[in-house]
């Protein structure tokens, strides 16, 4: 059967210490569920989740930790059976007037027991259980540390200047542009890069889109890493201390050490239940795979971090590849 990809969110907030989630009512189906919708052609899953949330609720959200996905059988527009695959994220509202825009006639903030009773589909309670489990563990509130490998650059053999001045090629420029909505989905507010031109150019479009500048760091260059690899790892440690939603761009030879330094923050906490332990193990495995096999040019690794500094814990990891258009 064909697969229909879709993405959605569980917006959450805390009012007087009580955890609440937002559920939506669809008059076409007369049901209560999570805000979600189908991906546009060539759209990234996180971008679709944010777009659909805005289109249905009027809220701009930033994605937090991923939640369990779900699959179920539907009848598509041609009358054929299809599999609908939906990926979900916890999310927090950044802005928006809450004006209902598309297919939704009511949005309600509900406490957890009320939301569980209101939802019409048993499958939607899987995401709610995961969100509550994260809240009980103190890891529902996270911030993103996004590791970026620079986009496609002009080849070394055809470049006659200093290597650190080598710029992006046309493919790389397109990748950098397509990275903008992806980084925005996670609410990145700080942009850090190797001072090499190809890295700075990778993040410049996003920095411009949020009205900031790229903060360049020599310690993240290939040349500095070859001479003093510990400086790149120290730069990442400082970002963990800062605990601000950050994208940081560097080079293929540098990133394995960076990723493995983050791997140490995926240790399973004492007393963790089986589901929580599996999440930490999955995060550690994703970082190790990215370090061992390498990141593609223009790829991003999103680390969802709870806490800061030496005690920071990476509770989930996502990998996304940007496309040229």
**Higher-confidence position of 102 and 292:** 292
Tell me: do 220 and 79 sit in the same domain: no
CB atoms within 10 A of CB 315: 26
Do 132 and 227 sit in the same domain of this protein? no
Band of the pLDDT at 77, cuts 50, 70, 90?
confident
Residues 84 and 231 both lie in one domain: no
Domain range for residue 297? 143-321
Q: Are residues 197 and 86 in the same domain?
A: no
Indicate if 116 and 179 belong to the same structural domain: no
Tokens of 319: 């990998």
Q: Of 91-105, 117-131, 142-156, 166-180, which gets the smallest average pLDDT?
A: 91-105
Q: Residue 325 has what pLDDT? A: 58
Which is it for strands 143-149 and 299-306: parallel, antiparallel or unpaired? antiparallel
Q: Give the mean model confidence (pLDDT) for residues 16-29.
A: 94
Choice between 76 and 229, residue whose per-residue pLDDT is larger: 229
Please give the span between the terminal C-alpha atoms of the chain, in angstroms, as a whole number.
29
For residues 223-235, give the mean pLDDT: 97
Mean pLDDT of the 278-285 span: 93
The H or E element spanning position 125 is: helix 124-136
- Provide φ and ψ at 323, rounded to 5°: -115, 150
Which CATH number does the domain housing residue 117 bear?
Answer: 3.90.79.10
User: What pLDDT is recorded for position 98?
Assistant: 74
Choice among 71-80, 83-92, 246-255 with the minimum mean pLDDT: 71-80
Q: How many domains does the chain have?
A: 2
Pair (178, 308) in one structural domain = yes
Does residue 180 sit in the same domain as residue 288? Answer: yes
Beta strands in the chain (DSSP E): 3-15, 18-26, 31-33, 35-38, 59-75, 81-96, 106-111, 143-149, 190-194, 215-217, 246-250, 299-306, 313-321
pLDDT of residue 142: 98
Question: 230-242 and 255-263 helices cross at what angle (nearest 10)?
Answer: 50
Number of neighbouring beta carbons within 10 Å of residue 48: 22
* Euclidean distance between CA atoms 156 and 96, whole angstroms: 46
Going by pLDDT thresholds of 50, 70 and 90, the confidence category of residue 40 is very high
The per-residue pLDDT for 324 is 66
Q: Which of 136, 162, 188 is the last residue of a domain?
A: 136
Are 153 and 295 within one domain?
yes
281 in the same domain as 219: yes
How much is the mean pLDDT over the chain?
94
Residue range 36-60: mean pLDDT, rounded = 95
Is the pLDDT confidence value at 122 over 80?
A: yes
Beta-strand relationship, 31-33 and 18-26: antiparallel
Q: Do residues 122 and 27 share a domain?
A: yes
How confident is the model at residue 101, as a pLDDT? 67
Tell me: do 45 and 149 sit in the same domain. Answer: no
Distance CA 278, CA 281 (A): 5
User: What does the pLDDT average to over 131-139?
Assistant: 95
Report the C-alpha gap between 174 and 324 in whole angstroms.
5
Boundary-marking domain end, from 109, 136, 163: 136
C-alpha separations of 50 from 53, 62, 164, 190, 298 in Å: 5, 7, 36, 19, 21
Q: What is the pTM of this model?
A: 0.95
Which tokens in the block code for residue 246?
């950050």
Question: In the Cβ-directed half-sphere of 161, how many Cα atoms lie within 13 Å?
Answer: 7
Residue where a domain terminates, one of 136, 161, 182: 136
Residue 287 has pLDDT above 70, yes or no: yes
At 184-219, the pLDDT tens digits run 999 999 999 999 999 999 999 999 999 999 999 999
CA-based nearest residue to 267, from 287, 292, 250:
287
pLDDT class for 74, splitting at 50, 70, 90?
Answer: confident
Question: What's the whole-number mean pLDDT along residues 1-23?
Answer: 96
What does the DSSP 8-state code read for residue 295?
P
Rounded distance between C-alpha atoms, residue 151 and residue 174, angstroms: 9
pLDDT score of 79: 77
Same domain, 55 and 18: yes
Taken in order 51, 52, 58, 61, is the CA torsion positive or negative?
Answer: negative
And the tokens for 320? Answer: 């996304």
The reported pLDDT for the residue numbered 209 is 98
Return the percentage of the chain with pLDDT > 70, whole number. Answer: 99
Mean pLDDT, rounded, for 223-227: 97
Q: How much is the average pLDDT of 295-324?
A: 95
């Amino acid at each position: 059967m064909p697969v229909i990809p879709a993405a959605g969110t569980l917006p959450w907030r805390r009012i007087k210490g009580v955890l609440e989630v937002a559920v939506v009512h669809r008059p076409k189906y007369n049901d209560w569920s999570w805000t979600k919708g189908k991906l546009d052609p060539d759209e990234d899953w996180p971008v679709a989740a944010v777009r659909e949330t805005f289109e249905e609720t009027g809220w701009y959200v930033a994605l937090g930790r991923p939640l369990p996905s779900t699959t179920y059988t539907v009848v598509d527009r041609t009358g054929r059976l299809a599999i609908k695959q939906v990926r979900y994220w916890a999310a927090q509202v950044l802005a928006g007037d809450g004006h209902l825009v598309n297919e939704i006639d009511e949005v309600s903030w509900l406490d957890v027991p009320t939301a569980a009773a209101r939802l019409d589909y048993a499958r939607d309670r899987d995401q709610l259980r995961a969100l509550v489990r994260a809240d009980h563990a103190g890891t529902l509130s996270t911030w993103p540390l996004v590791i970026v490998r620079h986009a496609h650059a002009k080849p070394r053999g055809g470049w006659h200047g200093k290597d650190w001045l080598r710029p992006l090629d046309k493919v790389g420029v397109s990748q950098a542009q397509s990275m903008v909505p992806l980084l925005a989905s996670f609410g990145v507010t700080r942009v850090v890069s190797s001072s090499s031109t190809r890295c700075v150019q990778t993040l410049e479009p996003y920095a411009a889109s949020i009205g900031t500048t790229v903060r360049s760091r020599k310690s993240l260059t290939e040349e500095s890493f070859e001479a003093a690899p510990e400086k790149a790892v120290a730069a990442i440690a400082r970002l963990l201390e800062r605990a601000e939603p950050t994208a940081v761009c560097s080079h293929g030879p540098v990133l394995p050490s960076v990723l493995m330094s983050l791997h140490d923050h995926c240790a399973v906490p004492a007393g963790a239940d089986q589901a929580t332990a599996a999440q930490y193990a999955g995060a550690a495995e994703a970082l190790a795979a990215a370090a061992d096999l390498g990141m593609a040019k223009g790829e991003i690794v999103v680390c969802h971090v709870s806490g800061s500094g030496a005690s920071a814990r990476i509770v989930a990891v996502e990998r996304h590849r940007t496309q040229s258009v």
